[in-house]
Amino acid sequence: MFDKTIVINGKSKLTGSVRISGAKNAALPELAATILSSGSFEFENIPAVEDIRVMFKALQNIGACGEFEKNRIQIQLETVKSALVPRDIVETSRASILILGPLLARNGFAKVSKPGGCPIGDRKFNYHLDGLRMMGADISMDDRHIIARADKLSGIDFRFPAKTVTGTENLLMAATLAQGVTVLNNCATEPEVDDLVRMLKKMGANIQIENDGRLIVEGQASLNGCQHHIIPDRIEMGTYIIAGGFLGNELIIENAVPEYIESLLGILKSMGVEIAVEQDKIKVCSNGDLSSVEVETLPFPGFPTDLQAQLTTLLTQVKGVSRIRENIFNNRFQHVKELNRLGADIDVKHNVAIIKGKTPLRGQVISATDLRASAALVLGGVIAEGDTIIENAHQLFRGYERMPEKLEKLGARLEVVRENPRSKS
């Protein structure tokens, strides 16, 4: 098994244009939705990242045939040949939980590995299971798997106790093949959920989105295949927008959707970052001292938890004291220890990070703890003096397409080293 290390020679200014790739968090549920139909599917603008490769392999394991080439996937699951999604395929991703609903709805039986992914705190999937049980599923668990059976799922009126993106997506997909009408209340409203709805409608699903966030689904006997273009990745978009906020940087973000990221744009403008929006382009630069800020993570359209770590890195370079309150996950400040190793001055009290700036950063050997933290540490390494070595960097490649290459084109100096950890003494 090969790991990756990123070596960054810092003190680089970033200038130029960067094009945003397709959204990983849209592509994952949409690939899972192919299970609902025996028809053929063609996806464009698929991000070539590790989490997508994991999902593609998981679908092949249950019987799908297809091709994944560059940024296109062609796939068809004509017959479900296995209801098992094993741990050795999905242990690095949360792909398995998104397979549960559609596989159960179509096949009547699913045995999927408990979800893996980033160790960023409690990521409860009990809302998924509660909803499926209400639909008529018999669900049990062993040490490694969730096991679900149902002769036929039935429509329900269900309210999520709290916003959950994957929970909304999972029950939505299951409802498309359930008997009767399903009403889902307090649904997540992220752009990725809206895009999944668009795809399911192309497949023949009958779905209404209400103004209060409800989803009303009339189950169908069968669905068809379709072609679908993946939306741009708002988290990658936000990461490069934040990168443009460091002093002296000037970036043009292409293939952007500004309404996906309005919360971040508002925060950066309040800090003094210069931002200009032109249709599908966002120009970002910073030419002076920025103001400190107080921020909290919230479900969409609020500031996304997936950008909290990257914004933290920027706030180390802002005069005064800034605070970020993390409301979504209870263990999402693991990057703080690594940023402090670079010279940052950050304290964490309960769910609040207190960032004291402006602090110079100096290169050190640090470790990426999760996907978004890895991006935050890369940004820190780019501005730090000297060399920064980021170990465990495979995390970055789970969700960012060609980030090192994109940064190099913008002026960063970095190298990706593949190494075999078993060869270490």
- State the catalytic residues: 118
Can you tell me the distance from the alpha carbon of 372 to that of 150, in angstroms, rounded to the nearest whole number? 37
Which residues are registered as beta bridge partners of 7?
389, 415
Q: How many angstroms separate the CA atoms of 159 and 168, rounded?
A: 10
* d(C-alpha 74, C-alpha 62), whole Å: 16
Nearest-angstrom CA–CA distance, 345 and 34: 47
DSSP element (H, E) containing 139 = strand 138-141
User: Contact at 8 Å (CB) between 413 and 402?
Assistant: no
Q: Which residues, including other chains, have CB under 8 Å from residue 363's CB and lie 6 or more apart? A: 8, 10, 342, 381, 384, 385, 386, 387, 388, 389
* Phi/psi-derived region of residue 25, left when phi > 0, alpha when psi is between -120 and 50, beta in every other case: alpha
Rg of the chain's alpha carbons, rounded to an integer? 22
Angle at 337 between CA 336 and CA 341, to 5 degrees: 115
Q: Are 272 and 288 in contact (CB under 8 A)?
A: yes
What whole-number distance in Å separates Cα of residue 21 and Cα of residue 63?
28
8 Å CB contact between 86 and 146? no
- Give the CB-side neighbour count of residue 96, counting CA atoms within 13 A: 25
| d(C-alpha 381, C-alpha 316), whole Å | 13
Residue 354 and residue 312: Cα distance in Å, rounded?
A: 9
Tell me whether strands 294-296 and 320-325 are parallel, antiparallel or unpaired. parallel
Q: CA torsion, points 330, 335, 341, 342, in degrees to nearest 10?
A: -140
